[in-house]
């Protein structure tokens, strides 16, 4: 790479139903971390590839398996001096006999429990990633985020109306309520920024929409949690996850209803600070603006 060039790196962590991680041992002639144990696969994304495409290719090249990306989740990204490092968590059961190890890269592979990996780190045999505690916590969480596509539009559109119907009945905000958003407008939003489906124990419980407002500023446009799943800490975990997925963001912003004190408390608990910006929608409802610039959930690379 020449001065000014940046690149994308991917790490693939595969976990089975028993909570074990598939790990590989690097060949002794590898330039970095020779002989040490590592995640299932890792490498640089090639020109023209997306992060997901790079993850699929690296897993195929290094250990000879097809990743089941329908069971994959981008859990966080790390910003380093020359680029970004995406960490993918894939829930997939694999027989070791299915593996086809790339001789130039991989000496061995095995399944290991979280405790066994931590013991390998302690003994100096596993690469000491700073992200391991966060990775293991997410792998054991019932909450997952999956990128939405246009095929999900109708389902998510109906969910948005269901979530906001009680808010509309309370405040009668005819001109601003998502209840009256057209499907065409919803589709436009779905293609702007990133729209994620929120799952708990594999059940769809909500959605969240974020997008870059300007370089370094991410906007949390809308988070929808179905009423029967509210009050369980799902929104808090989703917001922490999102911060970890966008390390380029130096601040986050959102708007919320001033009269909804529970929501205001949640955002302030998460580190958001109310600004002086307010918009009166009607006599019952006022929108207020929040910003977060401190204590962002950005993980440091090794």
pLDDT in tens, 91-150: 999 999 999 999 999 999 999 999 999 999 999 999 999 999 999 999 999 999 999 999
Query: Tokens representing 209?
Result: 């929409």
Q: Nearest 5°: CA angle at 122, between 116 and 127?
A: 85
Domain residue limits, the chain: 7-139, 143-292
Kindly compute the dihedral angle of the four CA atoms of residues 155, 161, 164, 170, in this order, to the nearest 10 degrees: -160
pLDDT in tens, 241-285: 999 999 999 999 999 999 999 999 999 999 999 999 999 999 999
Query: Tokens representing 152?
Result: 């999900």
7-139 and 143-292: identical CATH topology: no
Q: Are 275 and 289 in contact (CB under 8 A)?
A: yes
**CATH code, 143-292:** 3.40.630.30
Residue 302 confidence class, pLDDT cut points 50, 70, 90: confident
What pairing do the DSSP bridges indicate for beta strands 7-15 and 83-91? parallel
Q: Cα dihedral sign for 230, 251, 86, 138?
A: negative
The confidence score (pLDDT) of residue 1 equals 61
Query: Tokens representing 119?
Result: 């013991």
Fold of 7-139: Nucleoside Triphosphate Pyrophosphohydrolase (3.90.79)
Residues 273 and 288: their CA atoms lie apart, in Å, by 11
Q: Are 299 and 78 in contact (CB under 8 A)?
A: yes
Tokens 């006022």 belong to: 286
**pTM of the shown model:** 0.92
The confidence score (pLDDT) of residue 51 equals 96
Element (H, E) at 275: strand 273-280
The confidence score (pLDDT) of residue 5 equals 75
Query: In the chain, what percentage of residues exceed pLDDT 70?
Result: 99
The mean per-residue pLDDT over the stretch 48-60 comes to 97
pLDDT in tens, 186-222: 999 888 889 999 999 999 999 999 999 999 999 999 9
């Amino acid at each position: 790479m020449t001065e000014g060039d940046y690149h994308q790196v991917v790490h693939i962590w595969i976990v089975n139903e028993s909570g074990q991680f598939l790990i590989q041992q690097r060949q002794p002639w590898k330039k970095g971390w020779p002989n040490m144990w590592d995640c299932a696969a890792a490498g640089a994304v090639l020109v023209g590839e997306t992060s997901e495409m790079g993850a699929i290719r690296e897993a195929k090249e290094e250990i000879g398996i097809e990743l089941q990306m329908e069971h994959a989740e981008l859990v966080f990204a790390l910003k380093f001096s020359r680029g970004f490092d995406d960490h993918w968590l894939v829930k997939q059961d694999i027989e070791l006999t299915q593996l086809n190890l790339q001789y130039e890269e991989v000496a061995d592979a095995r399944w290991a429990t979280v405790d066994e990996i931590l013991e390998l780190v302690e003994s100096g045999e596993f690469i000491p990633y700073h992200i391991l505690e966060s990775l293991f916590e997410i792998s054991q969480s019932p909450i997952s985020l999956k990128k939405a596509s246009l095929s999900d539009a109708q389902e998510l559109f109906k969910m948005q109306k269901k979530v906001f119907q009680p808010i509309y009945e309370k405040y009668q905000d005819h001109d601003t309520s998502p209840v009256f958003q057209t499907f065409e407008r919803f589709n436009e939003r779905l293609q702007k920024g990133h729209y994620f489906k929120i799952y708990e124990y594999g059940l769809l419980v909500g959605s969240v929409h974020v997008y870059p407002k300007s370089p370094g500023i991410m906007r949390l446009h809308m988070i929808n949690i179905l009423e029967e799943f509210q009050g369980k800490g799902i929104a808090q975990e989703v917001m922490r996850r999102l911060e970890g997925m966008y390390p380029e963001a130096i601040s986050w912003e959102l708007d919320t209803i001033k009269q909804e004190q529970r929501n205001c408390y949640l955002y302030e608990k998460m580190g958001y600070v109310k600004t002086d910006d307010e918009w009166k929608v009607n006599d019952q409802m006022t929108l207020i603006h929040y910003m977060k610039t401190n204590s962002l959930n950005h993980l440091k690379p090794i």
